[in-house]
């Protein structure tokens, strides 16, 4: 009797082989390292499709995470270098102002003009130094890490702590920041709830200082630039060398006579260094005035709207999303332009515009940064 091969017998045969190779009591177990690798790859694959909110931004962040990590690492370690750059450049401008421009001003300016320059220049200098020091040394504010009853809007995925409204995680500082605006490498610090006013005031007065130096030193800059250009002209055409490029005028000279360049006027090494330092000061202050002025204007617009730099992007996305639904989005932290400035600057009385805005002041913000309400709308501060 011949044995016939049927599908059922083939399946039974394979089952017997598998049971002999991998008994039931042990099962088919992979090596530990292969199991861990397989589980990690499976988790990585599932993380790209973890819910319906996955979009191109999530995929972009996942792909460029190593590059962003490198940028955060470099910024964290080079922050102190940027701070020293600000100190050195500012000090160099002060050296030029005191040792080059001031002696010239004492010889040429009238007494009332000297008094005005002395008061205005030193007021701006004191405000720059005070607010930069406070912006660097003041912590931006952090949410409490322990158990508390403070209301929160989400949980940080990296810190694994409750995040209050307007708080965000900083990858460079590696912790959550209250009312975070951005991480500033020139401060080597985050700009948050407690030092946002110091940062903005520093930008304002540094811009004013650069404009002041650029405007007051413009005449000296033009004189120094012209002096250097004349010196270069005489250096290119040495005395005793016939002038070229005179065109038809050369033919009008008497026979055997050649036109020679006038010897260069005396131009000492000290005068050259002085003129170059004036040009350096004017170019640097003018450039910083334009760049930092644009940044300051941008932050002033954000403060007028009751937004931070991060909230500007999130609010724009929310407006677009609600517009598609036929709804209008309103920023819950916008109390009106004047009230936004009062809350930001900590102005509660009329005198505070002088003592807290135009003079150095280390007062704390009106809010604690943990809870935000509509106090400026319900109860109007003193009209100013």
Q: Which residues are tagged catalytic?
A: 184
Q: Residue 265 corresponds to which tokens in the numbers above?
A: 């006027």
User: Structure tokens of 384?
Assistant: 């100013």
Coil, strand or helix at 374: coil
Alpha-carbon distance of 299 to 293, in angstroms, equals: 10
Any idea which residue has 């005070």 for tokens? 130
Consecutive H or E run containing 170: strand 168-170
Q: How far apart are CA 265 and CA 41, in angstroms?
A: 78
DSSP code, position 306: T
Pairing of strands 175-177, 182-184: unpaired
| Residues 136, 6: Cα–Cα separation, whole Å | 82
Instruction: Find the angle CA(246)-CA(248)-CA(251) to the nearest 5 degrees.
Output: 100
Q: How many residues does the chain have?
A: 384
Comparing C-alpha atoms, which of 64, 267, 73 is closest to residue 183?
73
Outline where 217-246 has alpha helix (H): 218-236
Alpha helices (H) along 237-268 = none
Residue 29 structure tokens:
């177990």
- CA 65, distance to chain mean position in Å, is 21
Q: Residue 132, class by beta-carbon neighbours within 10 Å (0-12 exposed, 13-18 middle, 19+ buried)?
A: buried
63 token code pair: 């792909």
| Residue 186: how many other CB atoms lie within 10 Å | 17
Please state, in angstroms and rounded to a whole number, the distance separating the CA atoms of residues 5 and 241: 112
| Three-state secondary-structure class, residue 182 | strand
Residue 297: closest CA among 194, 189, 180, 208? 208
């Amino acid at each position: 009797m011949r044995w016939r091969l049927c599908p059922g017998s083939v399946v039974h045969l394979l089952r017997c082989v598998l049971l002999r190779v991998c008994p039931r009591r042990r099962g088919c177990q992979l090596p530990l390292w292969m199991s861990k690798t397989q589980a990690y790859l499976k988790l990585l694959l599932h993380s790209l499709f973890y819910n319906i909110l996955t979009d191109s931004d999530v995929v972009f962040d996942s792909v460029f995470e190593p590059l962003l990590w490198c940028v955060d690492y470099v910024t964290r370690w080079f922050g102190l270098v940027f701070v020293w750059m600000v100190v050195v450049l500012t000090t160099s401008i002060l050296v030029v102002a005191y040792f080059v421009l001031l002696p010239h001003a004492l010889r040429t300016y009238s007494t009332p003009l000297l008094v005005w320059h002395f008061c205005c220049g030193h007021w701006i200098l004191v405000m720059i130094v005070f607010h930069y020091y406070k912006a660097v040394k003041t912590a931006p504010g952090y949410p409490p890490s322990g158990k508390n009853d403070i209301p929160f809007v989400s949980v940080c995925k990296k810190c694994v702590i409750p995040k209050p409204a307007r708080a965000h995680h900083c990858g460079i500082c590696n912790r959550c920041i209250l009312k975070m605006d951005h991480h500033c490498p020139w401060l080597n610090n985050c700009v948050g709830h407690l030092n946002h006013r110091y940062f903005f005031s520093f930008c304002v007065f540094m811009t004013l200082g650069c404009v002041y130096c650029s405007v007051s030193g413009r005449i000296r800059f033009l004189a120094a630039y012209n002096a250097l250009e004349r010196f270069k002209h005489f250096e290119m055409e040495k005395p005793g060398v016939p002038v070229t490029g005179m065109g038809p005028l050369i033919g009008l000279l008497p026979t055997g006579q050649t036109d020679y360049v006038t010897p260069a006027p005396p131009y000492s090494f000290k005068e050259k260094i002085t003129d170059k330092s004036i040009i350096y000061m004017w170019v640097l202050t003018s450039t910083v005035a334009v760049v930092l002025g644009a940044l300051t204007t941008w932050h002033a617009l954000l403060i007028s709207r009751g937004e931070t730099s991060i909230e500007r992007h999130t609010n724009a996305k929310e407006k677009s999303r609600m517009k598609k639904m036929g709804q209008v989005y309103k920023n819950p932290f916008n109390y009106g332009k004047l009230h936004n400035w009062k809350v930001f600057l900590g102005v509660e009385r009329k005198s505070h515009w002088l003592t807290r805005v135009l003079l150095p002041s280390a007062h704390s913000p009106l809010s604690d940064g943990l809870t935000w309400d509509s106090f400026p709308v319900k109860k109007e501060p003193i009209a100013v």
